[in-house]
């Protein structure tokens, strides 16, 4: 079977428009944990669509925050296409596939690291994005929010790619430390050390605020 032919064209694979009969975007409503769904999809590929319905929206939101709404559509589609093609290698002892999916997404986002850093540095200079909506109608609150956003963007741009992945998987994807370790295929101790290092740098930029709560300072889709 040709997975690409079953799933359809990548550009059509978005969270809003999916080709009819697509294995990635198949009908929702299947019971069982993620591992059961993946195991069943080996014989019935359309079952894999249940993972898309469970997790695509979250993956898209995460990618939009990291890159842009436009890029998030491709990242989301490619995440599930990659997962579909690799499903036979999935460790079925892990009932929750979300860390696996975020790991794939993080790897794809990493291919755009120059674009991400460039956008963060631009936001650090301006405190806002030209195409993003205002956070509030009150001008004083909006200015204060932009100032915080600028400091946060500068701090995130200054992190290494590995530290940024760990911090944002905790802060924006709400993964537990062990789930981050699974997502990035790194030891739990490495997750802790990277997170502590990133926290120190970002906490300084935010005037002591907890950097794992950066979603409080950063609107979804802020890059586009």
In tens digits, the chain (224 residues) has pLDDT values of: 333 333 333 433 433 333 334 555 555 556 789 999 999 999 999 999 999 999 999 999 999 989 888 899 999 999 999 999 999 999 999 999 999 999 999 999 999 888 888 888 888 887 655 334 333 344 444 445 566 778 888 889 999 999 999 999 999 999 999 999 999 999 999 999 999 999 998 888 877 766 555 554 454 455 54
Q: What tokens were used for 142? A: 């909006």
pLDDT at position 39 is 97
Predicted TM-score (pTM) of the model is 0.75
What distances in angstroms separate CA 132 from CA 61, 69, 179, 186, 222, one per listed residue? 14, 10, 31, 34, 6
Determine phi and psi for 101, rounding to 5 degrees.
-65, -40
Contact (Cβ atoms closer than 8 angstroms) between residue 124 and residue 147: no
Burial category of 6 from C-beta neighbours within 10 Å (exposed 0-12, middle 13-18, buried 19 and up) = middle
Single out the residue of 45, 60, 67 nearest to residue 14, CA to CA. 60
pLDDT at position 93 is 96
pLDDT at position 214 is 55
Contact (Cβ atoms closer than 8 angstroms) between residue 188 and residue 177: yes
Q: CB neighbours of 208 closer than 8 A, spacing ≥ 6?
A: none
């Amino acid at each position: 079977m040709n997975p690409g032919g079953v799933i359809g064209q990548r550009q059509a694979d978005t969270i809003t428009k999916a080709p009819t009969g697509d294995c990635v975007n198949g009908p929702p409503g299947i019971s069982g944990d993620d591992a059961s769904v993946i195991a069943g999809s080996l014989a019935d590929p359309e079952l894999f669509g249940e993972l898309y319905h469970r997790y695509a929206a979250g993956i898209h939101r995460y990618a939009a925050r990291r890159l842009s709404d436009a890029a998030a559509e491709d990242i989301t589609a490619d995440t599930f296409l990659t997962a579909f093609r690799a499903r036979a290698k999935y460790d079925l002892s892990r009932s929750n596939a979300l860390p696996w999916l975020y790991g794939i997404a993080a790897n794809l986002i990493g291919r755009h690291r120059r674009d991400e850093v460039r956008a963060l540095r631009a936001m650090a200079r301006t405190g806002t994005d030209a195409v993003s909506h205002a956070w509030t109608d009150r001008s004083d609150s909006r200015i204060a929010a932009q100032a915080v956003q600028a400091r946060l963007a500068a701090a995130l741009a200054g992190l290494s790619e590995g530290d940024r992945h760990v911090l944002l998987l905790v802060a924006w994807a709400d993964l537990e430390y062990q789930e981050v370790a699974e997502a990035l295929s790194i030891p739990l101790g490495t997750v802790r050390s990277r997170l502590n290092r990133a926290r120190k740098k970002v906490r300084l930029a935010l005037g002591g605020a907890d950097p794992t709560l950066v979603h409080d300072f950063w609107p979804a889709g802020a890059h586009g």
